Amino acid sequence: MTVTVILGPEYDQHLRVTVMEVMRELDASIESRNWSVAGSQEIETVQAQLYGNAITIEAETYIGLSITGEENMIDEISKRVKQATQSIPT
């Protein structure tokens, strides 16, 4: 089953970096990266492959930073991102 999880605000640069670090740790391959503007909204989309599964990461104004893909993969990525962001003292 395909699911989408909002990881946090799209403007959180630390979160964006963490998501990409987690993807690298899992040996995901980045297939494409696109950026566009539609009115007042910016959308950045990253298409990746992880163990043969398509993963889409999107940062969209007013929506947030989301990740879409096969449920088990998204759960694992989300868990790792959450652990990584919580382990850093603020």
Contacts of 82 (CB under 8 A, 6+ apart): none
Q: Is the pTM of this model over 0.95?
A: no
- Is the domain spanning 2-85 CATH 3.30.160? The answer is yes
Alpha helix stretches (DSSP H) within the chain: 13-25, 71-86
Taking alpha carbons only, the member of 29, 85, 36, 81 closest to residue 60 is 36
Mean pLDDT of 4-19: 96
Domain boundaries of the chain, sorted by first residue: 2-85
Does residue 42 contact residue 61 with C-beta atoms inside 8 Å?
A: yes
What confidence category does residue 86 fall into, taking pLDDT thresholds of 50, 70 and 90? Answer: confident
What confidence category does residue 39 fall into, taking pLDDT thresholds of 50, 70 and 90? Answer: confident
